[in-house]
A and B are shown apart, each in its own frame.
Chain A
């Protein structure tokens, strides 16, 4: 069974109408727990800059309803996002995207990728795989991921 729910977080752009900012896709067949799927996708949107500081997030109950998941699940996702500093919640007001120090975070993630790539380059040299071949492999993997 593969059930997919998509939810769009709308942002009211100062009277200019509603603009789709984020899609959340929940897959029931994924091994990743549902709360992590929600958490990671909101996190991605914040890191990519689709959600900006002070943008309101839907209430936990509303998100649960739209995604057809339990309130406790969205609650857990929001709590973890809050603990990791991505959002702030105010009682009675709701949850908002927190001020992000995105620069350092992205830099850190970049350096992780660089380190891994250097490992791969090393390994490829040892096996005699050319740069061209490696690029092809990467091309294929990249496209596969996007499907």
Chain B
């Protein structure tokens, strides 16, 4: 399968944090959810992709080309949405749109107007007078109106109400109807991705812990609950993390078959949610 973005042993060090030789790819034609707790390196990774910062070592290619060398050309094909407002506060929506539109060869004014109407955005209001949700909607309208092949979003759903979050997901599934489009979407609200994401990339402490289809994760990762008698040293190794209390244990495993065979009927296995995977893995010493 073709990759829209490929990171190979990318390293980036800061004073108090580093991306530690990360490698993963974003598959073309699909929605990839980029999850991880706050401060795990999501924004840094996205800044690298957008060439806002440069890696210390390793390679980053986009549509098969070096992303820094061909940055200008590649950015024509990228639509971006960031968590924080990055527009000029003193401009009106219309003025800001004009500035942004002037940079894109394929700007589709008709499409932009459609989004403006759909989101009920005011043309004449100054950016600083827009609500968080409206800024996000405006940002999204700008990101989609030049027919980008790759949409990169950093925490687009934080600060949005559930109604619009659902709407956003619908828009994204609409975009992905064209199999040449790719969406890369960072969030710590995993329920957004539970439904529509095809691939999940999980980052923690600057390391990529998982990079697989959501289907595979659903098959593999299970939450196990059972009585303490069932737990022993042998079993503990089959868990990524297990919490033992006086009334029983609860843990995350990626070896459900083994657990089923060993612990048998007196335990309950349920497919783990992305949140379960994120929370338990974060607690695990394995990835500390």
Stretch at the interface among A59-67, A104-112, A120-128: A59-67
Chain A 46-66 interface residues, beta-carbon cutoff 8 Å to B? 61-62, 64-65
Partner of A68, one of B29, B195, B198, B270: B195
Q: A69-B195, A70-B196 are in contact. Are A64 and B173 (CB under 8 A)?
A: yes
Q: A31-B270, A33-B271 are in contact. Are A72 and B176 (CB under 8 A)?
A: no
On chain B, the residues within 8 Å of A62 by CB distance are 177
On chain A, the residues within 8 Å of B31 by CB distance are 70-71
Q: Tell me, in angstroms, the Cα distance from A70 to B172 when the chains sit together.
A: 11
On chain A, the residues within 8 Å of B213 by CB distance are 72
On chain B, the residues within 8 Å of A31 by CB distance are 270-271
- Asked if B50 lies at the interface with its beta carbon under 8 angstroms from chain A, I say no
Q: Tell me, in angstroms, the Cα distance from A64 to B270 when the chains sit together.
A: 24
Chain A 20-63 interface residues, beta-carbon cutoff 8 Å to B? 28, 31, 33, 35, 61-62
User: Across the two chains, which residue of chain A brings its CB closest to B199?
Assistant: A72
Chain B 163-187 interface residues, beta-carbon cutoff 8 Å to A? 169-170, 173-174, 176-177, 179
The number of residues on chain A lying at the interface, defined by a beta carbon within 8 Å of a beta carbon of chain B, is 15
On chain B, the residues within 8 Å of A76 by CB distance are 215
Q: Are A61 and B271 interface neighbours, CB within 8 A?
A: no
On chain B, the residues within 8 Å of A95 by CB distance are none
Shortest CB-to-CB span from B270 to chain A, Å, is 7
Q: Are B215 and A65 interface neighbours, CB within 8 A?
A: no
The number of residues on chain B lying at the interface, defined by a beta carbon within 8 Å of a beta carbon of chain A, is 23
- Asked if B214 lies at the interface with its beta carbon under 8 angstroms from chain A, I say yes
Q: Tell me, in angstroms, the Cα distance from A35 to B29 when the chains sit together.
A: 19
Which of A28, A61, A70, A73 has most B Cβ within 10 Å?
A70
Q: Are B169 and A68 interface neighbours, CB within 8 A?
A: yes
On chain B, the residues within 8 Å of A28 by CB distance are 194-195
- Asked if B76 lies at the interface with its beta carbon under 8 angstroms from chain A, I say no
Shortest CB-to-CB span from A96 to chain B, Å, is 19
Q: Tell me, in angstroms, the Cα distance from A76 to B217 when the chains sit together.
A: 14
- Asked if B10 lies at the interface with its beta carbon under 8 angstroms from chain A, I say no
Partner of A72, one of B169, B177, B215, B270: B215
Q: A68-B195, A68-B196 are in contact. Are A73 and B177 (CB under 8 A)?
A: no
Q: Tell me, in angstroms, the Cα distance from A28 to B195 when the chains sit together.
A: 9
Q: Tell me, in angstroms, the Cα distance from A103 to B252 when the chains sit together.
A: 45
Q: Are A72 and B218 interface neighbours, CB within 8 A?
A: no
Shortest 10 CB-CB contacts between residues of A and residues of B: A65-B173, A72-B198, A70-B198, A72-B213, A68-B195, A61-B177, A72-B215, A71-B198, A70-B196, A76-B215
Contacts A62-B177, A65-B176 aside, 19 further interface pairs with beta carbons under 8 A come to A31-B271, A33-B219, A33-B271, A35-B215, A61-B179, A64-B176, A64-B196, A65-B174, A65-B177, A68-B173, A68-B196, A69-B196, A70-B31, A70-B195, A70-B197, A71-B31, A72-B30, A72-B214, A76-B215
A interface list, Cβ under 8 A from B: 28, 31, 33, 35, 61-62, 64-65, 68-73, 76
Q: List 28 A-B contacts (CB under 8 A).
A: A28-B194, A28-B195, A31-B270, A33-B218, A33-B219, A35-B215, A61-B176, A61-B177, A62-B177, A64-B173, A65-B170, A65-B173, A65-B174, A65-B176, A65-B177, A68-B169, A68-B170, A68-B173, A68-B196, A69-B196, A70-B197, A70-B198, A70-B214, A71-B176, A72-B198, A72-B215, A73-B214, A76-B215
